[in-house]
Amino acid sequence: MRKEFIRLLLVGLVFFSGYVLAIGVPKAYFMLYGAEISHAVQQCVVSERLKALDAEKFSIDDRLALDRQSRILLNYCHLIRSKTSSVSRYSTLSPNEIETLFNRLSNPRGSMR
Amino acid sequence: MNNQSLRVAIVLITIVLISIVSVIYRGAKDDEFIRLLARSADMKPLEVRYRAADPLYKLGQSLFYDPVLSGDRSTSCSSCHSIDKGLSDGRQNSNNLELLSTVDVSTGDEVKSYRLRNSPDLWNRDHNDTKFLFWDGRLEIVDGERKIFATPFGSGFGDGFENILEVQSTFPMITEQEMNGAANKYSSETLPPPHGNKRNTYAGLNGAVPHAIHVKVVERLVGAGSYQEDWQGRYAAAFKDAFPNIATSDVNITHIGKAIGHFEELAFSSNNSAWDQFLLGDSSALSTEAKLGAKLFLGEALCSGCHSGALLSDFRFHHVGLLSEPIDVLGEELDDLGRFAVTGDPQDNFRFRTPPLRNVALSAPYFHDGSTESLRDAIKRHILISGDEGYYDQGRMRFRAAKMVGLSPLIRRTPRLNDQEVDYLIEFLRSLNGEQAPRSFIIPDKVLSNLQFKR
């Protein structure tokens, strides 16, 4: 009876550890790096918004400015991605998914723009 | 202290030390990250210039500050480019002009009018990034190596000049509303002898052949034929010092341009700003707020698409949605069409050259029409243009959708920024204020004509 109880307790501990590793650690990580992750995703979202303009016709001067800004934002996005590895999880998501994620992850007050 | 307390203390100290080191490490990585982004926007620190008041500089200094260069001897270069106003003049509109013209249908005559624009500053315009001067880019470097310039006066006008500053310095004397002066106007009687009540010898030649006006300018400065007044003798001697191999009779407008251009290069180079120091590796040069502003500037605020390069300008032309009040010429409302006036291409309507931002905090008001008094309002107007029509109803500006065709795509995508973020951007812009040459190096005690001048 007593052995059975200890076994159950150990199983419970294993599940609890799993829970902590699966949910708690990412949450703690986000608490630490949340601002940077949000910021990175924000750059990615803005970058995607600029990409949407690619098909439109602009003057050469505007095109150069647009390309330069897109390049800087992509660098921004990639540099933070490499810095905070968890962001790389989001690199394969579509712009809409990134935006949804951004809105979910961000502090609602902080995301007011 | 027992062993257990000692162990606890060691663990706590270790945790504190690790935290401090990780904070410093993260901060350092963050700074390096801003530098990387700045490099991708071609932003480089400005070089510190060696300044020496050689004879060419002394001559250029006197010419820059001397009102005797203007038709009625009232206006010098410093009238619109004052060191006390960040090398602008603090006024909304100066005499930096766009010529507007229309035809009077009753007579068939062309009627000319001028629109006043805000006086642009002159900081670091000798930098290689400078490709165009004037808000509409009417002066352009076509080939820097071969020193070929495009001007409104056709080919050959810029011949003999070494750089764009030299060419530009000869423009205001050609324009009536700048330094040329009105026809039949005499200089003020109150000017000290021999300058009072003198006829404007430049007038009547306006808009015809710049060369004819420039000949008069040279005659004014060094005398015609064998006749020289005392002050003209001083100028003749100064030209001799600056150009030892040139006879006084061979002095021409390029010598005047070279002297003023050389003066502007040395006197108005401004460098070693907090931003320059930061780019060179001194992380403590920028405040935390300025660093946050730099991140915004380079990132989602989308400033660096156009405000790139060492001077924070791409020296290209963009329609950022700023529409000045049209002016009435014979009942016809004429807009300031910016670059269109130079190219004649309707796609260039309302496009203006991106202003460089070095020392921008010193040279209010802002934009081509000087319609914005503060940096805060200047930033906000970039943000509000595509979305807030009401903003334009409150001031002189009016939002007119039809004229927004060709609006810059970056302006269309500029995100809303909250007040704190605008504060960060302002801090970043203030970090662009560079060190200047001493006032005593820039401003002469007196000019060679002995006329009073604006500092």
The enclosing H or E element of B26 equals: helix B3-40
Lowest mean pLDDT across A36-45, B92-101, B153-162, B262-271: B92-101
pLDDT in the model for residue A107: 39
Residues of chain B contacting A42 with CB distance shorter than 8 Å:
299-300
CA separation (Å) from A111 to A99, A106, B114?
11, 6, 46
Contact B71, B202 (CB under 8 A): yes
Residue A34: pLDDT band (50, 70, 90) is low
pLDDT in the model for residue B326: 76
pLDDT in the model for residue A87: 45
Mutate to test the interface with A, among B132, B349, B410 (most CBs of A within 10 A): B410
pLDDT in the model for residue A78: 73
Q: Choose among B65, B74, B95, B38: nearest CA to B286.
A: B38
- Top pLDDT among B416 and B362 is at B362
Q: Choose among B355, B318, B41, B352: nearest CA to A62.
A: B318
* Residue contact A59–B317, C-beta within 8 A: yes
pLDDT in the model for residue B393: 44
Q: Which residues pair with B116 in a beta bridge?
A: B97
Return the percentage of chain B with pLDDT > 90, whole number: 56
ipTM (interface predicted TM)? 0.83
Lowest mean pLDDT across B14-18, B80-84, B346-350: B14-18
Q: How far apart are CA B105 and CA B74, in angstroms?
A: 36
**Nearest CB to B318: which of A50, A62, A75?**
A62
Report yes or no: B39 at the A interface, CB cutoff 8 Å. Answer: no
Q: Choose among B308, B327, B401, B411: nearest CA to B369.
A: B327
* Residue contact B409–A62, C-beta within 8 A: yes
- Kindly report, residue by residue over B173-208, the tens digit of the pLDDT: 888 778 887 777 789 899 999 999 998 888 776 555
CA separation (Å) from B198 to B160, B192, B296?
31, 11, 56
* Residue contact A50–B408, C-beta within 8 A: no
Instruction: Please name the residues in contact with B266: beta carbons below 8 A apart, sequence gap of 6 or more.
Output: B49, B51, B52, B57, B437
SS3 B162: coil
Q: Encoding tokens for residue B6?
A: 């000692």
- Kindly report, residue by residue over A47-69, the tens digit of the pLDDT: 777 877 777 788 999 999 999 99
> How many Cα neighbours within 13 Å face the side chain of B113?
16
Most confident of B24-28, B97-101, B385-389: B24-28
SS3 B99: strand
Whole-structure pTM value = 0.83
What mean pLDDT is reported for chain B?
Answer: 86
- Kindly report, residue by residue over B436-455, the tens digit of the pLDDT: 999 999 999 999 999 999 98
Looking at CA atoms only, how far is residue A18 from chain B in angstroms?
A: 26
Lowest mean pLDDT across A19-33, B104-118, B355-369, B386-400: B386-400
